[in-house]
C-alpha cells in the first residue's frame, strides 16, 4: 500500500516530534503493509513550509531506515491566499514529488465561494488538486453538493483511512462511506501524526473496503491511484462518480467533463 498523506518529518509541525518517533512510525507503517510514504508537512498559518528543512529531515530518516520503506515529499497544503499565490509562482514546490498532484486542505470554519477559481488557476499551472479528508470537514458534511462540484471540475478526493473505523466520529464515518458508495473517493491515506493517537495504519481500511466493495476497489484506492500520484504518472481510468451532475441545469453536462478533467485526461 502507498500512503500519500503522512506527517513523518520530525520537528516541523504537529507530526513526529523527533527522529526516533519518525523511525518508529516507519516501522509501524511497514508492519502494516505500507511500502511507500509521501511525507507531507503542513503549510499553514501555524507551520512554515521550508523545502530545505524538509530535505534535511528526509535525508536523516532515510539514513536510519534504509530501504524499509520508499519515501517521497509533498505537502499538506492549506488553501490560503498566500499559499495559493506562492504555488502559482512555484508549482513544484508543494506537490507530491514535484509532480502534478497537490494535496489541498480547507479551513474548518469557512470555504470561500470562489475556491473553484483557485482550483482552476492551480490547474493552469499543471497542478491537480487532491481534496484531503472532506469527510472530516463540517462545512462539506453539511454541503456535499460543493464536493460534487469540485469533483465535476476534476478534483480528486482523499479519505482518511481511520475515518472508516469511527476515529473521527460517526458523522465523518458515515460521510466517508457515503462518498465511497458514490465513487467519490480516489485515495485512502493515513494522515498519520504519531504512533499511537494518529498511527500510520491502512490495512484495516483496505480490508473494510475490500469486504464491502471488492478487492479491486481497495487496491485502486490504496495502491493503484496512490502509485500514480507518487510517480507523477498519467491518471488511471476510474469508475463513474454518481450524482455529481444532479444539480446541473442541462443533463447533457454529464457528457462534457469539467476543465480540469479535460486538462488532465488524455
C-alpha triplet 180, 183, 189: angle, nearest 5°: 55
Show the cell assigned to 118: 483557485
pLDDT at 187: 98
pLDDT at 254: 42
Query: Could you report the per-residue pLDDT of 201-230, keeping only the tens digit for each?
Result: 999 999 999 999 999 999 999 999 999 999
| Cα separation, 248 vs 91, whole angstroms | 31
Show the cell assigned to 204: 484495516
Find residue 103's DSSP bridge partners: 130
Task: Give the strand pairing for 2-6 and 36-39.
Answer: parallel
Are 108 and 79 spatial neighbours (Cβ–Cβ below 8 Å)? Answer: no
Domain ranges of the chain: 2-264
- The Cβ-side half-sphere exposure at 46, using a 13 Å CA radius, reads 9
| Cα separation, 98 vs 100, whole angstroms | 7
For 52-199, list the strands marked E by DSSP: 70-73, 76-78, 101-105, 128-132, 156-160, 187-189
Q: What is the largest CA-CA distance in the chain?
A: 57
- Give the CA dihedral 116, 122, 84, 189, nearest 10 degrees: 80
pLDDT at 262: 46
Average pLDDT, integer, range 20-26: 98
Find residue 2's DSSP bridge partners: 36
Average pLDDT, integer, range 237-254: 69
Are 148 and 246 spatial neighbours (Cβ–Cβ below 8 Å)? Answer: yes
Exposure class string for 12-41: b at 16+ Cβ within 10 A, else e:
bbebbeebebbbbbbebbeebebebbbbbb
pTM over 0.85? The answer is yes
**Crossing angle of the two packed helices 115-124 and 144-152, in degrees rounded to 10:** 20
| Average pLDDT over the chain, rounded to an integer | 93
Domain spanning 2-264 has what CATH number? Answer: 3.20.20.140
pLDDT at 39: 98
pLDDT at 82: 95
C-alpha triplet 184, 188, 194: angle, nearest 5°: 145
Q: Is 33 or 261 the better-scoring residue by pLDDT? A: 33
Helices marked H in the chain: 19-32, 51-65, 81-89, 115-124, 138-142, 144-152, 170-181, 203-213, 215-219, 225-230, 259-264
The contacts of residue 3 (CB under 8 Å, 6+ apart) are 29, 34, 36, 37, 38, 189, 190, 192, 200, 202, 226
| Cα separation, 226 vs 122, whole angstroms | 20
Using the structure block, give the residue that is written with the C-alpha cell 483496505. Answer: 206
Amino acid at each position: 500500500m502507498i500512503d500519500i498523506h503522512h506527517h513523518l518529518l520530525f520537528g516541523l509541525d504537529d507530526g513526529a516530534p523527533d527522529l526516533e518517533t519518525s523511525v518508529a512510525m516507519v516501522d509501524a507503517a511497514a508492519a502494516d503493509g505500507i511500502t511507500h510514504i509521501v511525507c507531507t508537512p503542513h503549510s499553514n498559518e501555524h507551520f512554515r513550509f521550508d523545502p530545505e528543512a524538509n530535505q534535511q529531515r528526509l535525508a536523516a530518516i532515510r539514513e536510519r531506515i534504509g530501504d524499509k520503506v520508499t519515501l517521497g515529499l509533498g505537502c499538506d497544503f492549506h488553501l490560503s491566499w498566500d499559499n495559493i499565490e506562492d504555488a502559482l509562482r512555484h508549482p513544484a514546490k508543494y506537490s507530491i514529488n514535484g509532480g502534478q498532484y497537490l494535496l489541498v486542505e480547507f479551513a474548518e470554519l469557512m470555504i470561500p465561494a470562489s475556491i473553484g477559481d483557485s482550483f482552476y488557476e492551480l490547474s493552469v499551472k499543471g497542478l491537480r488538486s487532491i481534496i484531503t479528508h472532506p469527510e472530516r470537514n463540517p462545512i462539506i458534511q453539511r454541503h456535499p453538493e460543493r464536493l460534487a462540484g469540485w469533483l465535476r471540475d476534476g478534483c480528486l478526493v482523499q479519505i482518511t483511512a481511520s475515518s472508516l473505523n469511527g476515529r473521527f466520529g460517526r458523522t465523518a464515518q458515515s460521510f466517508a462511506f457515503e462518498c465511497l458508495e458514490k465513487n467519490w473517493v480516489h485515495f485512502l491515506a493515513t494522515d498519520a501524526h504519531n504512533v499511537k493517537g494518529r498511527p500510520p495504519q491502512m490495512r484495516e481500511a483496505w480490508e473494510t473496503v475490500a469486504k464491502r466493495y471488492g478487492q479491486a476497489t481497495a487496491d485502486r484506492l490504496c495502491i493503484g491511484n496512490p502509485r500514480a500520484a507518487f510517480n507523477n504518472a498519467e491518471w488511471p481510468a476510474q469508475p463513474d462518480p454518481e450524482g455529481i451532475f444532479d444539480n446541473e441545469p442541462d443533463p447533457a453536462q454529464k457528457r462534457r467533463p469539467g476543465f480540469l478533467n479535460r486538462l488532465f485526461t488524455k
